[in-house]
A and B are shown apart, each in its own frame.
Chain A
Amino acid sequence: MTINVVIADDHVLMRQGVSQMLNSHEHISVIDECNDGVELIASVLKHSPDVILMDISMPRMSGLVAIDKILAQRAAAKILVLSMHNEVEYVEAMRDAGAKGYILKESSGESLIDAIKKVAAGKICFPDTEEKNNDGQCQKHISPLSVLTRREREVFFLVAAGNTSKKIAELLDMSLKTAENHRSNIYKKLNLSSSAELIRMAGKAGLLE
């Protein structure tokens, strides 16, 4: 029982690499490769693949438009988006457009194969819409700081090092009010009530120098 896949990506090396990797798997067969959305639509109509693996940014016709057209003609098509973009807006837009899954190009071969199997079996496979997810694949990070934004993490380290809000504002070239806003957001997100608690928590998590 082989899963037939059509793959579309204008990046030839990427596409061939992925194809080769997938073809070496005994239950997956890449039956066609396409360079853009227009080719993809023709190929899908011709081959009716089990899974469509496609990029978003492509010449001639973008992935978003292609998904629309494919689903208009093959409502049950199983589309797995393979993208370099880890932002929530991308994931949401593809989910809304009717894709069954979304996986990052930087994911490992195994997670790609897993995702293809899941989608082929009629399941959906989207990553946590959490920007800080490096694997892009249904996995959680353990670092307590992953809930903080990049700027909040900077402030976190400065608070942990014992700096006052005034000093932090100076160091990061922001207004005192902004620094205090960051501080209170960090406390809220990490469920802390004081800098002493923050330092204790940082120490426990091994985040102090």
Chain B
Amino acid sequence: MSDVEQELASIKALQASLKQRLDDDQAVLQQLAKRLWAQQESEKAKLSRELHDGIGQLLTGLTRRLQALSQQSPELATLHSIADMALHDVRQLSRLMSPTILDDLGLKPALNWLCRNLLEDEAITYESHIDLPADIPKDISILLFRIAQETLVNTVKHSAASTVTLSLGHHHNVIRLDIIDNGKGFDTKQVEPGIGLSSINDRASAFSAQLELISAIGKGTRTTVTVPI
């Protein structure tokens, strides 16, 4: 081997070891990011239980009593109706905070539940087409659920859409989720991402998922996630 060849070889070896270290660091960071998201989920679960068992129980008692009285006068019927709404809100808040339906029933019913809860009340009609692979890791289920949640909340808050379509399919160990609204859309170059969009972006990268948001004024909004499993 000539000197030049030798030098080239040692540079290559150095490059390879640097690349390896970079990859290792990246992997460590990604693990850390995953752990942080898992921690956030467990904090939310705690808070959700407190809401449900605390205020939730009190409101359940109140609502039942008012229901018993509601035949007596229109005013009591109205009070019952208001207490019932408050109970419904607390339950919904608690369940959206920590979707036990994911653990209990799996991603498909959980996504249907999410659509129903977020969209039905808002006069937005929706369709969902969900075709899941047999076994999805739990953290991927949570990832997809949270992305869908954030996206649908944005649809409700910002889009003034009348319909939404959610589709989930899979192909060669990659899951793809699309959420499409027919609302007013926005200019993705002009609008700064807020906490919602930033957080789902961060979350997606922790799981090596691709997140794509396509929107234009007057053209509705499409969010697409692809994630390897």
Q: Determine the chain A residues whose CB is within 8 A of the CB of B109 once the complex forms.
A: 89-90, 92-93
Please name the residue on chain A nearest to B113 by beta carbon: A89
User: What's the Cα separation between A41 and B103 when bound, in Å?
Assistant: 19
Using known A-B contacts A89-B112, A182-B123, determine if residue A209 contacts B78 with beta carbons closer than 8 Å: yes
Q: Mark A148-177, 1 if CB is under 8 A from B, else 0.
A: 011111100000000000000000001101
Contact (Cβ within 8 A) B105 A89: yes
Max chain B CB contacts within 10 Å: which of A87, A134, A152, A153? Answer: A87
In this complex, the member of B89, B109, B113 whose beta carbon has the largest number of chain A beta carbons within 10 angstroms is: B109
Given known A-B contacts A143-B77, A152-B121, A153-B85, A177 and B160 have beta carbons under 8 A apart: yes
Which residues on the B side are within 8 Å of A34 (C-beta)?
none
User: Which chain A residue has the least Cβ–Cβ distance from B86?
Assistant: A150
Would you give the 0/1 interface string for B63-82, flagging 1 where the beta carbon is closer than 8 Å to chain A? 11001001001110110010
Determine the distance from Cα of A35 to Cα of B88 in the docked complex, in whole angstroms.
29
A143 to B89, CA, bound (A): 19
A56 sits at the interface (CB 8 A): yes
Give the residues in chain A near B88, CB-CB below 8 Å: 150
Q: Tell me if B139 counts as interface (CB < 8 A to partner A).
A: no
Is B131's beta carbon under 8 Å from chain A?
no
B116: chain A residues at CB < 8 Å are 88-89
| CB contact between B104 and one of A90, A178, A208 (< 8 Å): that residue | A90
Size bin of chain B's contact surface: 20 to 34
Q: Are A64 and B123 in contact (CB under 8 A)?
A: no
- The answer to whether A207 and B77 touch (CB under 8 A), given A64-B105, A134-B64, is yes
Residues on the B chain within 8 Å of A185, using CB? 123
Q: Once the chains are docked, how many angstroms separate the CA of A56 from the CA of B106?
A: 12
Given known A-B contacts A134-B67, A150-B88, A178-B160, A90 and B105 have beta carbons under 8 A apart:
yes
Q: Are A153 and B100 in contact (CB under 8 A)?
A: no
Q: Does the CB pair A150–B89 fall under 8 Å?
A: yes
Complex CA gap A33/B106 in Å reads: 26
CB neighbors of B among A183-209 (8 A): 185, 206-209
How far in angstroms is the closest Cβ of chain B from A87? 6
Answer whether residue B223 sits at the interface, using C-beta atoms and an 8 A cutoff.
no
**Docked-complex contact B101 and A89, CB < 8 angstroms:** yes
Cβ contact within 8 Å between B160 and A206: no
Beta-carbon contact of A208 and B160 below 8 Å: no
Expressed in whole angstroms, the Cα–Cα distance for A174 and B158 within the complex equals: 9
Q: Which residue of A lies closest to B89 (CB)?
A: A150
Contact present for B81 and A206 (CB under 8 Å):
no
Residue A20 lies at the interface, judged by CB distance under 8 Å to chain B: no
Interface residues of A in 48-89 (CB under 8 A from B): 56-57, 62-64, 85, 87-89
A209/B89 contact (C-beta < 8 A), A89-B101, A90-B105, A93-B109 known: no
Contact with A along B86-106 (1 / 0, CB 8 A): 001100000000001101111
Interface residue? B212 (CB, 8 A): no
Note all chain B residues with C-beta closer than 8 A to A207.
Answer: 74, 77-78, 81
Contact yes or no, B104 A175, CB < 8 A? no
Give the residue among B85, B89, B104, B116 with the most A Cβ atoms within 10 A.
B104
Are A206 and B74 within 8 A (Cβ)? yes
Q: Which residue of A lies closest to B77 (CB)?
A: A206
Is B24 at the interface (CB under 8 A from chain A)?
no
A113 close to B (CB within 8 Å): no
Excluding A62-B103, A134-B64, A150-B89, 18 further A-B contacts by CB distance (< 8 Å) are A57-B103, A57-B104, A62-B104, A63-B104, A85-B101, A87-B113, A93-B105, A134-B67, A150-B88, A151-B121, A152-B123, A154-B85, A175-B160, A178-B160, A185-B123, A207-B74, A207-B77, A209-B74
Q: Which residues of B contact A (CB under 8 A)?
A: 60, 63-64, 67, 70, 73-75, 77-78, 81, 84-85, 88-89, 100-101, 103-106, 109-110, 112-113, 116, 120-124, 160, 162
